[in-house]
């Protein structure tokens, strides 16, 4: 299985369970690994045959930037659904890091995998 990735996509959003968090914007950092047929894109050398990481990043920046959720779980799940449904990605691993949420921790958050991994080869 081939992967197209996006690393450390930092986006400000409204996220948190406490009242004070609903009144501010906080950064989250997304890492994504997305199953994609790199072989096919390489053979044609055409963006139409590739999973466009810039288009995915733009869509997630728009969605997360406008979002208001309490839990990181909810935000991560919604982002994974967008990637799978709007970009025809069969499998995605998404890490959502709520940096700065816990003092003395580099980050906290969730890692989710959704969809079916395509067979190797
Ligand atoms: N599993 C989770 N635990 C916690 C979350 C969360 O979204 N998922 N959120 C918080 C608070 O919003 C915290 O980040 C504020 O610093 C606590 N635990």
For residues 45 and 42, give the distance between their C-alpha atoms in angstroms, rounded to a whole number: 5
Distance 36 CA to ligand 1 centre (A): 32
* Domain that includes residue 58, residue range: 3-115
Q: Using CA atoms, how far apart are residues 25 and 109, in angstroms rounded to an integer?
A: 16
**CATH number of the domain enclosing 18:** 3.30.1130.10
Q: Is the ipTM of this complex over 0.95?
A: yes
Q: Which residues contact 6 (CB under 8 A, 6 or more apart)?
A: 30, 31, 32, 34, 53, 56, 57, 60
Say what the pLDDT of residue 93 is: 98
Length of the chain: 121
In total, how many domains does the chain have?
1
Mean pLDDT, 10 residues at a time, the chain of 121 residues = 97 98 98 97 97 98 98 98 98 98 97 93 65
| Confidence (pTM) | 0.97
Nearest ligand 1 atom, CA 108: 14
Q: How far apart are CA 4 and CA 81, in angstroms?
A: 17
Q: Is 98 a catalytic residue?
A: yes
Ligand 1: which of 27, 67, 98, 102 to mutate, judged by most atoms within 8 Å of the beta carbon?
98
The answer to whether position 120 is within a domain reads no
For residue 17, report the distance from its CA to the centre of ligand 1, in Å.
Answer: 6
Asked, for residue 98, whether it belongs to a domain, the answer is yes
Residue 121 placed within a domain: no
Residue identifier of the C-alpha nearest atom 15 of ligand 1: 101
Question: Is 45 contained in some domain?
Answer: yes
> Which tokens is 58 given?
């733009």
């Amino acid at each position: 299985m081939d992967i197209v990735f996006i690393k450390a996509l930092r986006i400000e959003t409204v996220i948190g369970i406490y009242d004070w968090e609903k009144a501010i914007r906080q950064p989250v950092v997304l890492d994504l690994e997305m199953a994609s047929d790199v072989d096919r894109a390489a053979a044609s050398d055409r963006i139409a045959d590739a999973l466009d990481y810039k288009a995915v990043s733009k869509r997630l920046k728009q969605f997360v930037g406008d979002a208001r959720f309490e839990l990181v779980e909810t935000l991560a799940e919604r982002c994974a659904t967008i990637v799978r449904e709007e970009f025809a990605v069969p499998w995605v691993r998404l890490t959502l890091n709520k940096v700065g949420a816990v003092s003395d921790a580099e980050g906290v958050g969730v890692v989710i995998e959704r969809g079916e991994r395509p067979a190797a080869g």
